[in-house]
Amino acid sequence: MPTQIAVWDIWVRIGHWAVVAAIAFQWFSGEELDWIDAHASVGIVLFGWVMFRILWGFTGPAHARFSAFTPTQFSQIKQSIKCLIKGTSESTPGHTFIGGIGIYLLLGLLALAALTGMASTDDIYFDGPLVPLLDRGLVDLASRSHGLVTDALFVVIGLHILAIAWHVLRIKEPLLAGMWHGRKPSHGQTAGQPAANSRMIWLRGFVFLSLCLAASYGLFALYLGW
């Protein structure tokens, strides 16, 4: 059996599955007037998660940091795509370079979906918390754009699911198991520092995630009086 190392910390794993559940709920609740307040609240929480994941990309464990999967040369992206098409494993326990681009797309679209939702109105039942602060033209733009942004988000999610299936079934990489227990084949690399399962990462992640969620909900839901 290949040597395995701790790659994904508890906060990345909890966040991953929580986001899966939250997006499923958003898909179900988006067109239901009875669920619109819950839909908006979950959107605010998702924005708080995006804030945390961006912060975690600079302060989290080695493989969660943006520097671990951000391509610096086009040749890295090209090689990553070649490996994906050929069905060969890349020598990294964390995200591949092409996978890293997918992470940026998901985070960007999640943030944009949340912000356009908070700036949207239907002029009857719902006004987002940002509506009173914005010019009517921006509110109209956000209201028209929110559905398009969420459609784009679901397209990227669909591609993400297909990529996971390809990695699991064709390349035989335990991506789903790794995101459950945090360990993956090392490919000859070390876990890096700070370690994903260290006590410091547990404590730092708890503090940062709590602050980001509290800041998002406190600002958009409480301070703005929504």
| Cis amide leading into 194 (omega within 30) | yes
Angle at 18 between CA 207 and CA 23, to 5 degrees: 130
Q: Sign (positive/negative) of CA torsion 104, 107, 109, 115?
A: negative
Instruction: Give the H or E element holding residue 56.
Output: helix 36-59
Give the tens place of pLDDT for each residue, 211-222. 999 999 999 999
Residue 222's identity, in one-letter code, is L
Residues above pLDDT 90, as percent of the chain? 79
Other CB atoms within 10 Å distance of the CB of residue 114: 26
Residue the block writes with tokens 């708080």:
48
In the predicted model, what is the mean pLDDT of the chain?
93
**Per CATH, is 9-223 categorized as 1.20.950.20?**
yes
Domain layout of the chain by residue ranges:
9-223
**What is the rounded radius of gyration, in angstroms, for the C-alpha atoms of the chain?**
19
Q: What average pLDDT does this structure show over 175-195? A: 88
Split at pLDDT 50, 70, 90, the class of 1 is low
The DSSP 8-state label assigned to residue 5 in this structure reads E
Give 175's Cβ-side CA count (13 Å radius). Answer: 22
Residue range 120-178, pLDDT digits in tens: 998 888 899 999 999 999 999 999 999 999 999 999 999 999 999 999 999 998 899 99
